[in-house]
Chains A and B, each alone.
Chain A
Amino acid sequence: MTGHDHHHDHSELTETQLRVRALETVLTEKGYVDPAALDLLIETYEKKVGPRNGARVVAKAWADPAYRARLVKDATSAIAELGYAGRQGEHIVALENTPNRHNMVVCTLCSCYPWPVLGLPPVWYKSAPYRSRAVSDPRGVLKDFGITLPAGTEIRVWDSTSENRYLVIPMRPAGTEGWIEERLAELVTRDSMIGTGLPKQP
C-alpha cells in the first residue's frame, strides 16, 4: 500500500475524502508524518488486531482455572502473557458473567474500547442509540441483538469513563467438555466479549 490508495473515480470523492487527502498531503510534505507509518497503523488494526485476540483470552480462561484466576485478578498482566497489550488496553479489567449476572460494556461519552483484545469498535458501539440506551435500558438494547435474558438476571453495565478497558468473559457453553483452547476460541464472538451477545453453541 502507498499513502494514497484511493483507487476510485475522482468524481466519487466525497468532501471529507478530499479534505482528508489534502491534510495528509500537507502533513507529509511538511514531514510531520511518514506515509509508511500510516500504512502500518492501518494494517495493524485492519488485519492483525481483532477479536480473535480476545477470543483466545476467553478460551484460555475457560480451559485453564489458574489462568482464569490471574485474569480476574489482574487482566492487564494475564492478557499480556498472551502477547496482547498497549494502546487502548493499558489497564484492562475482566468481567465474569455468571448464571445470575450479565455484564455489558459501553462508553457513553465517546468510544472507549479494549483495542488490543477486540480491535477497533464496530459502528454500532460508537452510535448514539447504543451510547444513549445501554446505561438506561440494557434489556432493550439486548433485544436489538435478538437476546433475551431471564427477568431475574442482574445486568451490570460498565461505562468506560476512564482509561480502564473492560473485557467480558462470557459463560462457557455446555457441551464443550474436553475441548482444546483453539476449538473453544471459535465459539467466542466479539459481541459476547462486549456483552451484547452470547458465545456460539457447539
Chain B
Amino acid sequence: MNGAQDMGGVHGFGPVEPEPNEPVFHAGWEKRAFALTLAMAMPGQWNIDMSRFARENRDPGEYLSMSYYQIWFAALETMLKERDLVSDDETVAGHALREPKPVARILSPGAVAQVLYRGGPTERETNTTPAFKPGDHVRAKNINPRTHTRLPRYVRGHAGTIERVIGFHVFPDSNAQGAGENPQWLYTVCFDGRELWGADGDPTLTVSVDAWEPYLVPA
C-alpha cells in the first residue's frame, strides 16, 4: 500500500538525530510491547508480512504521530482482535473476561533461545529457474496495490540492473494476505541515483533494493 510507511524520497522530515548512548528500549512498556509481539507470533499464527501490513495499514497522519513501539503495539492489538484472541472489552478491563480460544502452542522460556536462533528463513526449494541473471536490465513495474507490497514507490517505473540472484523466497505480497507463501525468485536490483531522482540527482549514488520476480519486467 502507498501508506506513510513508504517514506523513501519524502521531504520535510528534518535532520537525522542520533542519540548518544541510546538505550535499547526507552521505557519499560517498550520492552513488554516488543517481547509480547515476538511471543504472540507463535500462538497467533501470523507471519511477519501480516505483522508489517498491520503496522502500515493505518491513517498516515496517525502513523506519523506514533512512536515506533506504539505502532508495533497497535498492530499487535489489531491482530489479536482479528483472530479473536483478545476482545476490546478485555483490553479495556485489563483482564481476561472469557475462556481462551485454544491455540496450538505458546512460547515457553525454554524454547526462546532456539526459536530466536532458528529465526524464520524465507528461502524455499524450487525446480524453476530464475528469469533474470546478473547484469540483466530490468524495470520495476508500476504497481499501486492497496495491499502489502515491498516494492517502494520511489523505484516503480524505473530501470535498474540485476546485481545478484538471491534465491527463491516467500512472496510478501501473497503471504501478508494469507494467500500462501507463493515463493518467487528474489533479486538485488541496482538503480542509478539519477534514474531515480532525475538528472539533478547525485551522480555518485546508486540504490539497491531486493525485488521479487513479479515486480520486474525486462528493460
Contact = CB atoms under 8 A, between A and B. Distances in A.
* A/B touching: CB–CB < 8 A: yes
Interface stretch (A29-37, A56-64, A169-177): A29-37
Binding site secondary structure of chain A: mixed
Contacts of A85: 117, 119
Binding site secondary structure of chain B: mixed
Given A26-B86, A38-B35, A108 B13 contact: no
Contacts of A124: 16-19
A88 B9 CA distance: 25
Contact of B31 (A14, A46, A136): A46
A144 interface: yes
Interface in A107-153: 108-111, 119-120, 122-124, 126-139, 141, 144-145, 151-153
B101 to A, nearest CB: 8
Contacts of B208: 156-159
Given A32-B103, A86-B118, A129-B14, A123 B32 contact: no
A24 B210 CA distance: 36
Contacts of A196: 16, 18
Contact of B17 (A133, A137, A138, A144): A144
A156 B17 contact: no
A33 B111 CA distance: 12
Interface in B120-174: 120-123, 150-152, 154, 164, 166-167, 169-170, 172
Question: Which among A19, A159, A161 has the highest number of chain B CB atoms within 10 Å?
Answer: A161
A110 B52 contact: yes
Interface size classification for chain B: 35 or more
Contacts of B103: 32
Nearest to B207: A157
Interface in A24-72: 24-27, 29-34, 36-42, 44-46, 50
B13 A132 contact: yes
Nearest to B148: A109
Interface residues of A, number: 85
Interface string B201-212: 110111111111
A123 B116 contact: no
Contact of A89 (B33, B94, B119, B190): B119
Contacts of B219: none
Nearest to B68: A126
B112 A44 contact: yes
A58 to B, nearest CB: 20
B90 A26 contact: yes
A198 interface: no
A87 B119 contact: yes
B7 A131 contact: yes
A183 interface: no
A133 B13 contact: yes
Contacts of B11: 132
Interface string B92-108: 11111000100100111
Contact of B19 (A18, A122, A162, A164): A122
Contact of A45 (B34, B121, B123, B206): B34
